[in-house]
Amino acid sequence: MCFSDPSRRIYERFTFSPQTFLGGTRNDIRAVVRVRATHQFSAELQYLRNDVDLPGGNFDVKLAILGLDYAISPNATLRSLLQYNSTTDDLVPAYALTTAINRTATSLSLTMSWSIWAWGTSSRTVDW
């Protein structure tokens, strides 16, 4: 694993994870670059690749993800994601509004998240 300081304006992370998988091997590669343009807006680009070698055959999965975050207030964030999956050849956008209310004096903690809109070229569900 190789990464820079996440508190910096530009943050990068690279991981390589070899492992055993269902009687074969699996190598996961992840590269992430995150840019905080302002205190309210940030963007993240991720590339993930899973190479799987099994006794019954080999395959690889590639994902590319673009995420954009806009902080409406300290307790509310609008997030959008655009994900490409090489296996299904889908390009899937998704949007979410997340709000959080934390009251330490009364020990009340409430987090709400809504998926406003998500679709793809095939019938799949995008889970948050």
Q: Considering the domain boundaries, does residue 128 fall inside one?
A: no
Q: Considering the domain boundaries, does residue 124 fall inside one?
A: no
Express each pLDDT in 21-48 by its tens digit: 788 888 999 999 999 989 899 999 999 9
pTM over 0.75: no
Q: Considering the domain boundaries, does residue 15 fall inside one?
A: yes
- DSSP structural state of residue 37: -
Q: Considering the domain boundaries, does residue 28 fall inside one?
A: yes
Q: Considering the domain boundaries, does residue 123 fall inside one?
A: no
Q: Considering the domain boundaries, does residue 18 fall inside one?
A: yes
By residue range, what is the domain housing residue 80?
Answer: 2-118
Express each pLDDT in 48-97 by its tens digit: 998 888 888 888 889 999 999 998 888 788 888 888 888 888 888 877 77
Total domains in the chain come to 1
Distances (CA, A) of 18 to 25, 27, 43, 59, 66: 7, 4, 28, 15, 25
